[in-house]
């Protein structure tokens, strides 16, 4: 096992990696931008090295400085987390060239899976089902012509994309060319690569993904599936495992497809193969993420594993720590992503200072976060500040548990989606398990906050007043004769 690790990330995922590394007795090295100097990941690491850049994001994307930091601190390996440089093949190459083990797959596998068109072709070639699609190779007119043949609605995506960037749904031929142009523009801006492709848009699709773990020699196991269909703007909000109402046969087929694909790529590392599942149980390869996912904790709880530890084990050339048959799904887990945003205002990101942060008292509610009370939420980073995860014997009990945990989670001073998540989790439709990626838009009205009733208004106003020092001194510290003047005197 490694003696030291540099975590090339920030926030909750940096804290998450540090936690496992510490439990394994590995020295932890954090990197940070000035804006994060007081952040939990900096405090919890054994060593913290500052990165210098004009913007915080630029700092965490500065591969040269990060590799230099790893060398100066004699880090044996580097964990990229998710986002930032985690799926950047050149970075992985540069890390390895510097004599540091990159916790991730081989650079050529990152390259292959990072390109939506190449990875789709690779999947198709290896017998994994893919949705009908057309790639744009320069000529927009012929792309539009070919794309029409697939039929509408169509989904346009950036070849180098991810996270919903450069993605749009086209409903008819009239807007196809314009939306294709917009998508190319967005693709160019975000990924410096304007290639796009169009594929058949499956109505009411579910997003099912499979957690895999490979040793780089062709041995791959899966750790079952996660359902990530509750999304807003193509971004996951609530994830769960196992996927509700998935037949055992279908689960096996999807997991087998994920394992096959990863074996063919001689995949090394923990990875995720994402699929779209249609209402009539057809599934199609979507993409493979060659890193640890945000939602990895639900798999950890259901399968009783530590995926960060598993990543370190396979990266240090050891065998996969488990046999496929020893991996069992036990109970049910749900994760809610806690974001600083305004759900009632089109999910607009919110900024400010976290004045109060209180986490649920239940021992088995896991709160993975990278923020603490007093921290500034700046527009420099993603709006996700933490994840609330609960595990129980079955889905109903897990919903009950996470409802309570959400009620107990307090984040004041910056708008958050905590109440919104509570309304989703409490909704009958979520409980019924009939979910698909359009769930939040389809149920937009029902998921709006209910009007405040008289008692709530009264309680809030009393509480607002009594929290104020000067109001309290009037209420409790007033001298006796004066204080008792009311409608009547108690003499």
Segment lying near other proteins (by CB under 8 A), choices 89-97, 221-229, 255-263, 379-387: 379-387
Asked if 160 and 114 touch (Cβ cutoff 8 Å), the reply is yes
Q: Which residues pair with 270 in a beta bridge?
A: 213
Structure tokens at 467: 């929290």
Beta pairing partners, 84 = none
- Tell me if 484 contacts other proteins by CB under 8 A: yes
Interacting residue with other proteins among 422, 439, 440, 447 (CB under 8 A): 422
Distance CA 332, CA 241 (A): 6
Question: Judged by CB, which is closer to other proteins: 57, or 434?
Answer: 57
Q: Is 195 a catalytic residue?
A: no
- Does the footprint of other proteins cover residue 491 (CB under 8 A)? no
Query: Where is 450: in which H helix or E strand?
Result: none
Give whole-number Cα distances, 371 to 51, 52, 264, 278, 300, in Å: 19, 21, 39, 38, 22
- Our finding on whether 189 is near other proteins (CB under 8 A) is yes
In the complex, minimum distance from the CB of residue 425 to other proteins, in angstroms, rounded to a whole number: 11
Residue of 140, 77, 87 lying closest to 292 (CA atoms):
87
Contact between 99 and other proteins by CB under 8 A: the answer reads: no
Instruction: Spell 27-48 as b/e; 16+ CB within 10 A means b.
Output: bbbbbbbebbeebbbbebbebb
Binding mask 266-285 for other proteins (x = CB under 8 A): --------------------
Nearest-angstrom CA–CA distance, 276 and 292: 20
- Would you count residue 466 as binding other proteins (CB under 8 A)? yes
Window 47-86: contact mask with other proteins (x via CB under 8 A): --------x-------------------------------
Structure tokens at 432: 């019924």
382 forms part of the interface with other proteins (CB under 8 A): yes
Pick 24 or 380: Cβ nearer other proteins: 380
Note whether 413 binds other proteins by CB under 8 A: yes
Q: Which helix (H) or strand (E) holds 222?
A: strand 220-232
Task: Tokens 């790639």: give the residue.
Answer: 135
CA neighbor of 226 nearest in space, from 213, 212, 237, 242: 242
Assess 452 for contact with other proteins (CB under 8 A): yes
Cβ contact 324:221 at 8 Å: yes
Which CB sits closer to other proteins, 46 or 408? 408
CB of 15 to other proteins, least distance (A): 20
The answer to whether 299 contacts other proteins (rule: CB under 8 A) is no
Name the one range near other proteins by CB under 8 A: 89-97, 140-148, 241-249, 483-491.
483-491
User: How many helices (DSSP H) and strands (DSSP E) are in the chain?
Assistant: 19, 23
Instruction: Give the residue, chosen from 32, 283, 347, 439, that forms a contact with other proteins under the rule CB under 8 A.
Output: 347
Q: Does 406 bind other proteins (CB under 8 A)?
A: yes
Token pair of 17 as six digits = 């990696």
Alpha helical stretches, state H, 52-129: 56-60, 63-72, 89-97, 107-114, 116-125
Total interface residues for other proteins by CB under 8 A: 60
Out of 93, 418, 433, 443, the residue judged to bind other proteins by CB under 8 A: 418
Decide if residue 372 touches other proteins (CB under 8 A): no
Query: Using an 8 Å Cβ cutoff, are 212 and 277 in contact?
Result: no
195, 291, 337, 395: the active-site residue: 291
CA atoms within a 13 Å half-sphere pointing along the CA-CB vector of 105: 32
Work out whether 376 is an interface residue with other proteins (CB under 8 A). no
Judged by CB under 8 A, does residue 431 bind other proteins? no
Interacting residue ranges for other proteins, rule: CB under 8 A:
55, 163, 189, 233, 341, 347-353, 355-356, 358, 378-383, 406-407, 410, 412-413, 415-416, 418-419, 422, 449, 451-452, 456-468, 471, 474-476, 478, 480, 482-487, 490
Catalytic residues: 291
């Amino acid at each position: 096992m490694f003696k030291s690790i540099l975590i090339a990330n920030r926030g909750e995922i940096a804290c998450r990696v540090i936690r496992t590394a510490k439990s394994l007795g590995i020295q932890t090295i954090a990197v940070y931008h000035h804006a994060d100097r007081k952040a939990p990941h900096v405090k919890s690491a054994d060593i913290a090295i500052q990165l210098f850049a004009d913007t915080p994001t630029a700092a965490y994307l500065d591969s040269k400085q990060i590799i230099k930091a790893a060398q100066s601190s004699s880090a044996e390996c580097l964990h990229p987390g998710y986002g930032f440089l985690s799926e950047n093949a050149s970075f992985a190459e540069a890390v390895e060239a510097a004599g540091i083990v990159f916790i991730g797959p081989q650079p050529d596998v990152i390259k292959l899976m990072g390109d939506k068109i190449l990875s789709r072709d690779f999947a198709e070639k290896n017998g994994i089902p893919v949705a009908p699609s057309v790639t744009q190779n320069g000529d927009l007119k012929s792309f539009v012509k070919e794309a029409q043949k697939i039929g509408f609605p169509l989904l346009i995506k950036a070849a180098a994309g991810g996270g919903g960037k450069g993605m749009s749904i086209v409903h008819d031929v009239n807007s196809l060319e314009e939306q294709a142009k917009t998508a190319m523009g967005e693709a160019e801006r975000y990924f410096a690569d304007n290639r796009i492709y169009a594929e058949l848009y499956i109505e009411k699709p579910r997003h099912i993904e499979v957690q895999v773990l490979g040793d780089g020699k062709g041995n791959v196991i899966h750790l079952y599936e996660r359902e990530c269909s509750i999304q807003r703007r193509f971004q996951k909000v609530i994830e769960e495992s196992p996927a509700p109402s998935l037949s055992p046969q279908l689960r096996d087929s999807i997991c087998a497809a994920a394992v096959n694909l990863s074996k063919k790529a001689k995949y090394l590392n923990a990875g995720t193969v994402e699929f779209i599942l249609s209402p009539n149980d057809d599934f199609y390869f979507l993409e493979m993420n060659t890193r640890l996912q945000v939602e990895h904790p639900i798999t950890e709880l259901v399968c009783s594993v530590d995926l960060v530890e598993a990543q370190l084990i396979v990266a240090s050339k050891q065998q996969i720590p488990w046999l496929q048959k020893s991996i069992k799904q036990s109970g049910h887990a749900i994760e809610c992503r806690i974001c600083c945003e305004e759900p009632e205002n089109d999910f607009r990101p919110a900024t400010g200072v976290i004045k109060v942060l209180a986490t649920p008292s239940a021992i088995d509610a896991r709160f993975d976060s990278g923020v603490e009370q007093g921290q500034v939420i700046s527009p420099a980073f993603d709006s996700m500040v933490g994840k609330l995860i609960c595990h129980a014997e079955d889905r109903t009990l897990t919903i009950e548990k996470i409802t309570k945990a959400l009620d107990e989670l307090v984040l004041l001073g910056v708008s958050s989606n905590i109440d919104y998540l509570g309304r989703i989790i409490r909704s009958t439709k979520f409980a019924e398990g009939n979910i698909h990626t359009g769930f939040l838009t389809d149920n937009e009205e029902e998921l709006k906050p209910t009007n405040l009733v008289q008692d709530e208004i009264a309680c809030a106003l009393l509480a607002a007043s009594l929290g104020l020092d000067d109001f309290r001194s009037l209420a409790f510290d007033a001298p006796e004769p004066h204080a008792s003047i009311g409608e009547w005197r108690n003499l």
